[in-house]
Amino acid sequence: LCLRLADAASLPDPDELGHARAVAPGLLEVLSVDLGDSVVTPSRDELAARGTLGEQLARGRANLLSLLAADEPEALIVGEGSKGRFATVTDASFFTASLALVLPEAMRRFTGEEHGARGTLVAVPGPHRLLYRPVDAPDAGEALRRMFDAARVDYRETPGALSPHVYWVRNNRWVPVTSF
């Protein structure tokens, strides 16, 4: 059981889940189970038989955090040494993009950067990719443009796409800063 980002339109009835939380317009945090070649999202009734919702959410967060302890995935810095650099984390796991739900820990793990007071630009175009850049220097605007370009391409080409947008994540709030 793991926390996962999901496109709201991909779920038949998010209200029936009883555990879906809106992260941003069109993006939900849900509890899911990895079956190897697919992911299922249990219903409220299926989860109720295994403990309280609070316990299930805590378990899902802990399992998502445990993915950070593995050797894979690794981050690649796009544009290293140039203006507008950003990190991209790509892996076969259905939960790679969902690492944005534990953003401070993911940033420390992959690039040693901090999710500071100014926030972080984040894109989750598909389940297997996370893009991020702290808002820490004047070239963050160039990173935003480059991330949006990368996210739109990945969104169009990825099965199970999540969002073509870049979000400004600050104080646990996700605000879309791009439009399609």
Residue 169 has pLDDT above 90, yes or no: yes
pLDDT digits (tens, 9 = 90+) for 100-143: 999 999 999 999 999 988 999 999 999 999 999 999 989 999 99
Query: pLDDT band for position 11 (50/70/90)?
Result: confident
Handedness of CA 65, 69, 73, 79 (dihedral sign): positive
- pLDDT the model gives residue 45: 85
Mean pLDDT, rounded, for 10-33: 88
Please provide the DSSP assignment of 17-42 as one string: HS--EEEETTEEEEEEEE-SS-EE--
Alpha-carbon span 5 to 99, nearest angstrom: 9
Cβ-proximal residues to 61 (8 Å cutoff; 6+ apart), any chain? 3, 101, 102
Q: What is the mean pLDDT of the chain?
A: 92
- pLDDT the model gives residue 48: 85
- pLDDT the model gives residue 111: 94
DSSP for residue 122: E
> pTM (2 decimals)?
0.93
Alpha-carbon span 161 to 108, nearest angstrom: 26
**For residues 34 and 23, which has the higher predicted lDDT (pLDDT)?**
23
List the one residue out of 82, 73, 67, 170 whose CA is nearest residue 130. Answer: 73
**For residues 124 and 73, which has the higher predicted lDDT (pLDDT)?**
124
pLDDT digits (tens, 9 = 90+) for 31-69: 999 888 888 998 888 888 888 989 999 999 999 999 999
